[in-house]
Structure 1
Amino acid sequence: MGTRTYNPSVRVGNWNEDIQLEEDTVKDFLEKRERGELLIQKSADFAAIVLKEARLSVVNDASVHIGDTVQLVNPMAKDRTKYFANIDPRDESCLSVNISASKLLEERKIAGTCQISSSVQHILPVARNTFIIESVDGAPLQSQLHFNQAFCIRTTQDGGNLYLSSDTLSIQRQAKKSRHQEVLLVPERSYLCQWHVISLNPQLRMEMEGRPVPANERVIIVHSKTGQALCIEEAHKVKTMLGFEYEVTATTSLDSHKAEKECNHWIFKSGN
């Protein structure tokens, strides 16, 4: 039942229209292949740009420096028993550029204002998840980054030289899923792109001010204008070309001891 008894060569019914339709389908396929618009071509081009291999800086003094190329990693949750049925236990993930395939293939590079997410699947250093620490106060390259020192987080050249930015929460400016303070990547640097690091332990923050920020250790990254901490939204995922990834916002989430929760913990991961 439902099997087509005749084909266009039998010339029964609308045979001419069937032949024309098949020819149009083949022609459309060939034209899309010429323009590189086939899904398999798009996927290959997308991967070649965003998954281009990158190299992290190697540090000798266990500290983060101005000009270092690092990954911003949210560590695996320590207590994996606290999660409910609708929230998966959170694995280690890293901050990543979330650019649409259509925009990327139109520009042929990562460019313009982009979304940001945190990826679990792709944690090796590539173009979309490596960042450069940039000074805003004239500190020389390779000088140590200190707690409470303002700095900018910029993608690499392969990542489009975009700056991590945020602004005060409003109806027009909010994350799509969580409705918290939005974080974006923007092409131009401004005060909205400034961040600073504070100690994980609230009781030691006064003492740690001015000391070097350690690499590969948990710290809190705070947006300088709004005072909100960079946050991984473990209950909200966004769709990307590489699968579902965690939404990232600027939202300070405190526990009963007035300390930032694990969703606010980040590591400046070096090449060591």
Structure 2
Amino acid sequence: MQYYTKQQLQGSGKYNSKCRIGNWNEDLEMEETLLKDYLSKRENGTLKIDLFQRRMNKALAPVELTTVKADGYVHFGDVVQVCHATTGSTLSCDIDDKSSDSRVDKTHAVTASTSTDPCVRNAFKIVKYEKATSDIFERDYEDKETLHYGQKIKLMHFPEPHEAPLYLYSKPISTTNFAKFSHFQEIALTPSDSFDSVFVVLHPDVVERSNMENIEGEKVPVGKAVVLQHCGTRQNLCLMPQFKFQNDFGAEYEVCAKTLTVLGKNLTMEKITQGMVRGDLEKPELPNNFWVFISSAIGGSQ
């Protein structure tokens, strides 16, 4: 903070550092010091504008998505965009927006951006969840490379070669973990590879989903809506279009973990008349919970 003498305050509009009044020598030295500091930072590329530009260049660097296979299905290891089915916004991260809670692993903010160009901040790799021990109740699929409904996955932020991977994660609401605006369950990126980072891929049609023998095990097509349910809390990945806020990349939507369902009971009553138990029924989700895996089309067009 710069302090001013009584003479400077009284004559601030009439005098400058060239007029030898007040602390004229100190003012002259201060101007020279500030100029040297500016020139040094500009030469070393440490000005705030330079740091911001490097950050933008890194986050918005183009990424080549995995080309859609001939079968048209999503495969493990694919680099994809996770887009909201109705708004078209893409799941995006801000690596430089970190949590300040020292008691937990550093987490990074996740939002939904209206920019659909494939880049570092909105590209994710689909990783198969592998249990440490075998599970006799886990279904065994013949095609182990293709993603099926009912399978558990992890969404890994597409990392730079020299960087540690980050995983999309969520955990129960607490005093330190909650979404900024909706106060629902937080969605973020974390370097911790734990069960908090595991999601299960569900069919968007709850009627089809209730017929598990018919739908579970079917392959997930590219470009078709799915529901991504957090395994640890059974809350769905959710876009909140009513919460749109500004960050360094522009106006973006909040993303949280929350299962939003329709209020009516028509489907429930219909299934009860068909002999299904009320406890086995699920209400249809709202479009907030519908997402799409987007890959690069053959020929490079999206």
Normalised by the shorter chain, which TM-score bucket? 0.7 to 0.9
Using the size of structure 2 for normalisation, the TM-score is: 0.75
Q: Tell me, yes or no, if structure 1 residue 137 matches structure 2 residue 133.
A: no
Q: Tell me, yes or no, if structure 1 residue 259 matches structure 2 residue 253.
A: no
**Number of residues of Structure 1 aligned to a counterpart in Structure 2:** 249
One-letter amino acid of the structure 1 residue matched with residue 79 of structure 2: T
Structure 2 CA distance for aligned equivalents of residues 47 and 225 of structure 1:
34
Return the offset for 1:27. Answer: 2.6
User: If you compute each CA radius of gyration, which structure gives the higher value, 1 or 2?
Assistant: 2
Selected match of 2:151 from 143, 149, 152: 149
Alignment of 1:186-197 (within 5 A): 186-197=190-201
Q: Tell me, yes or no, if structure 1 residue 73 matches structure 2 residue 83.
A: yes
Using the size of structure 1 for normalisation, the TM-score is: 0.82
Q: Tell me, yes or no, if structure 1 residue 170 matches structure 2 residue 174.
A: yes
The aligned residue for residue 86 of structure 1 is none
Runs of 4+ that moved beyond 6 A: 138-142
The aligned residue for residue 62 of structure 2 is 53
Q: CA separation of 1:4/1:224 partners in 2, compared to 1, >3 Å: closer, same or farther?
A: same
Selected match of 2:113 from 107, 111, 119: 119
Please tell me the root mean square deviation across aligned C-alpha atoms, in Å: 2.6
Return the offset for 1:244. Answer: 3.0
Q: CA separation of 1:18/1:137 partners in 2, compared to 1, >3 Å: closer, same or farther?
A: closer
Gaps of 5+ in 2: 1-10, 100-104, 132-140, 265-282, 298-302
Structure 2 CA distance for aligned equivalents of residues 143 and 112 of structure 1:
32
Confirm or deny: 8 A CA contact 2:148 2:216 kept in the other structure.
Answer: yes
Alignment of 1:24-103 (within 5 A): 24-59=33-68, 60-76=70-86, 91-100=87-96
Secondary structure in 1 aligned to 2:185?
coil
One-letter amino acid of the structure 2 residue matched with residue 259 of structure 1: P
1:152-197: CA deviations, max 9, x gaps? 1101122852111111222232112211011121113111111111
1:120-171: CA deviations, max 9, x gaps? 1x22111110001111238899811000101111011228521111112222
Secondary structure in 2 aligned to 1:99?
strand
